[in-house]
Amino acid sequence: MAVQIGILAGLQSEARCLSGLVPPHRIALSGARLDGARRAARRLVEGGATHLLSFGLAGGLDPALAPGTLLLPAQLLTPAGGAVPVDPDWHAAALALLRAHRPIQAPVAGSDIAIGTVAAKAALFATSGGVAVDMESHVLAAAAPALPLLIVRVVADSAADALPPAALVGIKPDGATDLAAVLASVLRRPAQIPALMRLGRAATKATETLRAAARLGAASGFGLV
């Protein structure tokens, strides 16, 4: 059977890191929504994916991790308290390809909702042990537990940074930035502008790391082919 990697990301900006390296039909977007992640994961599996890759940004939970830190976890922690290992051979191959970026192998946590406050991040870090959190990996793992899984993520916001309201409303279901919603939120609460600018700078740094990781590994399926 030919290898076909199905890639689940949250945002169009994450998917653009794979542009020219991966056929577009192999990528599905959640729009940072649980129902969107479920539909996207199901589409990948029903489309014949033989391997599943969770790719994109993540929220930092471990205070030691700065934005731009590459994550290549050996294990995924689910919202229900379970633990799902990634495929060990695929993980080892990806680790060799991405070693220049010193990827962190500690587990990441999955969440059905956005973890936006500093208190919520601290609580999830304490209860789960995950060093970062995303909203797609656990959904992808649950969609086809028998398929090999790999997670490539980058910390976009540190544990000490709360997500401003505009960031939480600024994503369309198709993963595009909702500029109108961001502007409306800023007009209602202009005090969030410094935090929004800080988040933007961090996200830019994280996306640079994600793009570099894609250049190193995407064409080979991160060592799979």
Backbone conformation region of residue 208, classed left if phi is above 0, alpha if psi is from -120 to 50, else beta: alpha
Under CATH, which architecture does the 5-160+207-220 domain have? 3-Layer(aba) Sandwich (3.40)
Residues 150-189: tens digit of each pLDDT: 999 999 999 999 999 999 898 999 999 999 999 999 999 9
d(CA 190, CA 209): 30
Phi, psi of 153 (to 5 degrees): -135, 160
Looking at residue 127, what is its pLDDT? 96
Per residue in 135-158, pLDDT tens? Answer: 999 999 999 999 999 999 999 999
**What is d(CA 75, CA 166) in angstroms, rounded to the nearest whole number?**
31
Point out which residues pair with 53 in neighbouring strands.
7, 150
Query: What is the full DSSP assignment across 159-187?
Result: TT-PPPHHHHH-B-TTS-B-HHHHHHHHH
Tell me, what amino acid is at 173? Answer: P
So where are the chain's domains?
A: 5-160+207-220
d(CA 162, CA 160): 7
The pTM assigned to this predicted structure is: 0.95
Query: Taking 70 as the threshold, does the pLDDT of residue 1 lie above it?
Result: no
In sequence order, which residues have a C-beta less than 8 Å from that of residue 213 and are 6 or more positions away? Answer: 17, 70, 98, 101, 152, 154
Contacts of 181 (CB under 8 A, 6+ apart): 166, 169, 170
Token output for 58? 């993540």
Assess whether pLDDT exceeds 90 at residue 195.
Answer: yes
pLDDT at 107 over 80: yes
CA distances from 7 to 117, 183, 214 (A): 28, 31, 12
Task: Give the model confidence (pLDDT) of 16-68 as tens digits.
Answer: 999 999 999 999 999 999 999 999 999 999 999 999 999 999 999 999 999 99
Contact 192, 65 (CB under 8 A): no
